Amino acid sequence: VSTHSGEFERIASLSRIYAGTHGAVMLGIGDDCAVLAGSASARVWTVDTAVAGVHFDLAFMPLHDVGYRAFMAAASDVAAMGARAEAALSSLIVPPDLDDAALYALAEGIAAAAREVGASVAGGNLARGRELSITTTVLGVADGRVVTRAGARPGDGVFVTGVLGAAALGLVALRAGADVAEALEPSRARAVRHFLAPSARFDRSGLVSRSASAAIDVSDGLVQDLGHLAAASGVGITVELARVPRVDEHAALALALGSDPVALLLSGGEDYELAFTAPRDAVPNALATCIGIVKAGAGVVVVDEAGERIDVGAGHDHFVR
Amino acid sequence: VSTHSGEFERIASLSRIYAGTHGAVMLGIGDDCAVLAGSASARVWTVDTAVAGVHFDLAFMPLHDVGYRAFMAAASDVAAMGARAEAALSSLIVPPDLDDAALYALAEGIAAAAREVGASVAGGNLARGRELSITTTVLGVADGRVVTRAGARPGDGVFVTGVLGAAALGLVALRAGADVAEALEPSRARAVRHFLAPSARFDRSGLVSRSASAAIDVSDGLVQDLGHLAAASGVGITVELARVPRVDEHAALALALGSDPVALLLSGGEDYELAFTAPRDAVPNALATCIGIVKAGAGVVVVDEAGERIDVGAGHDHFVR
């Protein structure tokens, strides 16, 4: 039995793998184009690429998780507009040494992420190359208002969903490889899970599209991404370090692994949480954490509990950027 | 002056390059997603990837043309549905040695092709990698009926637009490099142009969406692509070699370059013409050439003027497939 099928056979297999995903697709894999059902709502779409050795490392990441993360990274951009993901195209460049089992593990991860967000993988492309890469195009639909990066107003609160720094800590732990003290093992497993299987934060409650003045997803690190939002909105942002949501046990693990917990929190990327601005009384605590305030001016400043400014390094480096 | 800008600077430059493209985009480059205007029509979208050394060779192809062709190859899939291209996302993997001038030449080619088909480059992605690749996602809209590969009926005529084999001959000429006899030079220039600057065949007359029972674009070679159409439709197709439209002067050039003119005609790819089936009296000669007939059965047969079956080799190999 050959472990390298022909192109059409591989596409047929991918088509079966993607068949379990769902969305508003009238015609999917197997023709020149996928056909989407018409809609009067605003459509949003994005594309994101993950390259082996740059955005992921097969030495310590299973291919299923590589596919899952690559899809979520693209879907997260749709979430950051206050929209929901509807359909996706997945374009792969596949090196000769990647066999069928590896390819299908990758595709299963992509399909799992698509199902998780309720989107359909409507088509894609397979090309040969020397370097594995996954390019995901996601089309989303905004039932309400589309929320951009440009709309934050002085006086708005700054909010984030979930916890930050966990994915970057998981990457540090995976890279370190070695076992950690037994007491730290649950924290390690949780951080690794954050890194390998992030969830794009779709606005199921409608909070973001109803209340947010501006939004972005945390992919490059909190301070860097808030910097993009501040620049697009023409405002400044002050973040209070103590308010930034985190997993308490992660600080001990970070120190044990030789990493700075504060740097992970402020500059660690790939959490795929949402950061957004909104009137301060518009956001229930259960849905997001208020971490700071929008001010007139420019740039992002982080302050400690005494109000002293904290020096923040550069943004998250993904892999080898 | 550095020839390698930072990522954000490069994106800003690409955004300016793409600003001259047009389409139904409410929000383009600079946020997490592009936003498309709502519509009640069917949307079609596709993705296609071109990889250096596989689909193009920088040794004899200018980067502008590489971008132009990569875009047209994707747009052609939209044309093959009887739809028009509306907007595109362009995702590039860029190796460290590709400098700004090269990147912008590539992007200018992409933008030129987008303008040519009336589409907007609404966004994209830049990733680092070792191998240059261009992944183009095109979203199209079908004002009329969407035409798939599955709909050909026995008795339908088989039609193609333009001429075939010209792009493959242009590639042969570029690879050969050497000068040809002066008398062949105009043919050579014309064939090279066909290869470097193909045009996706959008259905401006509405003929395809009105009359075609099935359609596909000729990217892998006439016989191979008609084979996909026949398989999807559950029919057989007979093509008369003498009717396949060609540039008469190309036969002499092909022979001078050591290539088989018939093989180029039947198996040469990347012409990006449309092949479609339709009732035989529904297609004016000025718009497309009737080259054969749909029959009950399966597969594609090519016959000579005596009705004898001609042996046809494999499809076009793009570059090194």
Q: Would the pLDDT of B121 be above 50?
A: yes
In which residue are the tokens 């984030």 written?
A160
- Phi and psi of B46, rounded to 5°? -150, 165
CA distance A164 to A219: 10
The answer to whether A127 contacts B148, with C-beta atoms less than 8 Å apart, is no
The answer to whether A321 contacts B89, with C-beta atoms less than 8 Å apart, is no
The answer to whether A31 contacts B149, with C-beta atoms less than 8 Å apart, is yes
Q: pLDDT band at B313, cuts 50/70/90?
A: low
Q: What is the mean pLDDT of residues B79-103?
A: 89
The answer to whether B216 contacts A32, with C-beta atoms less than 8 Å apart, is yes
The answer to whether A45 contacts B37, with C-beta atoms less than 8 Å apart, is no
Q: pLDDT band at A286, cuts 50/70/90?
A: confident
**Cβ–Cβ < 8 Å for B274, B217:** yes
Q: What is the mean pLDDT of residues A68-78?
A: 94
| Full DSSP string of A6-42 | -HHHHHHHHHHHHTT--SSEEE-BTBSSEEEPPBSSE
| Full DSSP string of A41-67 | SEEEEEEEEEEBTTTB-TTTS-HHHHH
Q: What is the pLDDT of residue B146?
A: 84
Q: Would the pLDDT of A263 be above 80?
A: yes
Q: What is the pLDDT of residue A313?
A: 66
Mean pLDDT of chain B: 87
Facing residue for A131 by CB, picked from B130, B135, B142: B130
Distance from CA of B88 to the nearest CA of A (A): 10
The answer to whether B133 contacts A127, with C-beta atoms less than 8 Å apart, is yes
Q: pLDDT tens digit string along B246-270?
A: 999 999 999 999 999 999 999 999 9
Q: pLDDT tens digit string along A18-68?
A: 665 545 455 545 556 666 655 567 778 889 999 999 999 999 999 999 999
Q: Which residues of B touch A216 (CB under 8 A)?
A: 32
CA distance A233 to A204: 25
Q: Would the pLDDT of B39 be above 80?
A: no
pTM over 0.80: yes
Q: Would the pLDDT of A126 be above 50?
A: yes
Distance from CA of A272 to the nearest CA of B (A): 12
Q: Which residues of A touch B46 (CB under 8 A)?
A: 32-34, 89, 123
CB pairs under 8 A between A and B: 193
Q: Which residues of A touch B225 (CB under 8 A)?
A: none
Q: Would the pLDDT of A321 be above 70?
A: no
Distance from CA of B28 to the nearest CA of A (A): 10
**Cβ–Cβ < 8 Å for B291, B239:** yes
The answer to whether B127 contacts A31, with C-beta atoms less than 8 Å apart, is no
Q: What is the mean pLDDT of residues A4-30?
A: 59
Q: Would the pLDDT of B317 be above 70?
A: no
CA distance A165 to B79: 46
| Full DSSP string of A135-197 | EEEEEEEESS----SS---TT-EEEE-S-SSHHHHHHHHHHH-S---GGGHHHHHHHHHHHHS
The answer to whether B51 contacts A146, with C-beta atoms less than 8 Å apart, is no
Facing residue for A49 by CB, picked from B39, B91, B148: B91
CA-to-CA separations, B173 to B198, B218, B227, B257, in angstroms, rounded? 16, 20, 27, 7
- Phi and psi of B235, rounded to 5°? -135, 170
Q: Which residues of A touch B142 (CB under 8 A)?
A: 35
Q: Which residues of B touch A26 (CB under 8 A)?
A: 42
Residue type for position B147: V
Q: What is the pLDDT of residue B4?
A: 61
Q: pLDDT tens digit string along B162-198?
A: 999 999 999 999 999 877 899 999 999 999 999 999 9
Q: How many CB atoms lie within 10 A of CB B203?
A: 26
HSE (CB half, 13 Å, CA atoms) of B165? Answer: 22
The answer to whether B150 contacts A27, with C-beta atoms less than 8 Å apart, is no
Q: Which residues of A touch B120 (CB under 8 A)?
A: none
Q: What is the pLDDT of residue A145?
A: 82
Q: What is the pLDDT of residue A257?
A: 95
Q: pLDDT band at B320, cuts 50/70/90?
A: very low
Mutation pick from A15, A47, A149, A225 vs chain B, by most beta carbons of B within 10 Å, is A47
Give the helix, strand, coil percentages of chain B, each rounded to 5: 35, 25, 40
Q: What is the mean pLDDT of residues B121-126?
A: 82
The answer to whether B137 contacts A133, with C-beta atoms less than 8 Å apart, is no
Q: pLDDT tens digit string along B60-82?
A: 999 999 999 999 999 999 999 98
Q: pLDDT tens digit string along A186-225?
A: 999 999 999 999 999 998 888 898 999 999 999 999 999 9
Facing residue for A33 by CB, picked from B31, B38, B77: B77
Q: Which residues of A touch B137 (CB under 8 A)?
A: 45, 47, 89, 91, 137
> Coil, strand, or helix at residue B189?
helix
HSE (CB half, 13 Å, CA atoms) of B31? Answer: 26
CA-to-CA separations, B11 to A28, B124, B256, in angstroms, rounded? 31, 9, 45
Q: pLDDT band at A16, cuts 50/70/90?
A: low
Q: pLDDT band at A143, cuts 50/70/90?
A: confident
CA distance A122 to B229: 20
> Coil, strand, or helix at residue A236?
strand
Q: Which residues of A touch B124 (CB under 8 A)?
A: 47
Q: What is the pLDDT of residue B115?
A: 87
Q: Which residues of B touch A43 (CB under 8 A)?
A: 35-36, 38, 43
Q: Would the pLDDT of B127 be above 60?
A: yes
CA distance A208 to A204: 9
Q: What is the pLDDT of residue A192?
A: 96
Q: Would the pLDDT of A293 be above 90?
A: yes
Mutation pick from A11, A33, A43, A219 vs chain B, by most beta carbons of B within 10 Å, is A33
The answer to whether A38 contacts B39, with C-beta atoms less than 8 Å apart, is yes
Q: What is the mean pLDDT of residues A96-112?
A: 89
Burial of B276 (0-12, 13-18, 19+ CB in 10 A): buried
**What is the share, in percent, of chain B residues with pLDDT greater than 70?**
84
**What is the share, in percent, of chain A residues with pLDDT greater than 90?**
62
Q: pLDDT band at A100, cuts 50/70/90?
A: confident
Facing residue for A47 by CB, picked from B44, B125, B321: B125
Mutation pick from B11, B135, B209 vs chain A, by most beta carbons of A within 10 Å, is B135
**Cβ–Cβ < 8 Å for B24, A29:** no
CA distance A156 to A164: 21
Mean pLDDT of chain A: 87
Mutation pick from A7, A45, A56, A132 vs chain B, by most beta carbons of B within 10 Å, is A45
β-partners of residue A240 are: A303
**Cβ–Cβ < 8 Å for A248, A122:** no
Q: What is the mean pLDDT of residues A137-146?
A: 86
The answer to whether B47 contacts A124, with C-beta atoms less than 8 Å apart, is yes
CA distance A86 to A78: 9
Distance from CA of B77 to the nearest CA of A (A): 5
Q: Which residues of B touch A123 (CB under 8 A)?
A: 45-47
Q: pLDDT band at B296, cuts 50/70/90?
A: very high
